[in-house]
């Protein structure tokens, strides 16, 4: 069970996962031993699944970002999602409710590269249609 102290530790880790346990303990206002014990427990329970760097994709040359809604023929959902997940330029694939069956987050270096990706998705046999939302500005992107 996650309590308020765990939530504060998670928030501090999400701000900087490279921070020392001592500094985390000061931020959260508990002892370093408490932070270590709770982090290890949350890792073991799968609450904390790993640690990663926060990247600036624009500085890495990915100037084109979009969300693609994908409608898939009944019975082929998982197979199609797995194919899409393997494509270069695909950052995330989500199984969703609503009018579409899946949401795909794409990051590409150019509009031309993105166009090829959308056409490749549309060429999958069981994909019925796509609806693309180009991301103009990111207001908040944190998790």
CATH fold of 64-134:
Alpha-Beta Plaits (3.30.70)
Say whether 64-134 and 4-45 share the same fold: no
**DSSP state string for 55-112:** P-TTTTT--EEEEEEEEE-TT-HHHHHHHHHTSTTEEEEEE--SSSSEEEEEEESSHH
pLDDT one-digit tens code per residue, 61-94: 999 999 999 999 999 999 999 999 999 999 999 9
Closest CA to 65 of 96, 37, 31, 90: 90
Mean of pLDDT over the chain:
94
Q: What CATH number was assigned to the domain covering residues 4-45?
A: 1.10.10.10
pTM for this predicted structure: 0.79
| pLDDT recorded at residue 1 | 85
């Amino acid at each position: 069970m996650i309590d308020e102290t765990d939530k504060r530790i998670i928030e501090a880790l999400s701000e900087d996962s490279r921070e020392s346990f001592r500094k985390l303990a000061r931020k959260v206002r508990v002892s370093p031993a408490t932070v270590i014990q709770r982090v290890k427990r949350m890792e073991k329970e799968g609450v904390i699944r790993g640690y990663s760097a926060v990247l600036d994709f624009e500085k890495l040359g990915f100037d084109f970002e979009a969300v693609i809604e994908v409608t898939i023929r009944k019975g082929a959902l998982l197979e199609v999602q797995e194919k899409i997940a393997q494509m270069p330029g695909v950052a995330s694939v989500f199984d969703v409710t609503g009018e579409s069956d899946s949401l795909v987050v794409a990051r590409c270096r150019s509009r031309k590269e993105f166009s090829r990706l959308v056409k490749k998705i549309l060429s999958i046999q069981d994909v019925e249609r796509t609806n693309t939302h180009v991301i103009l500005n990111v207001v908040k992107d944190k998790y």
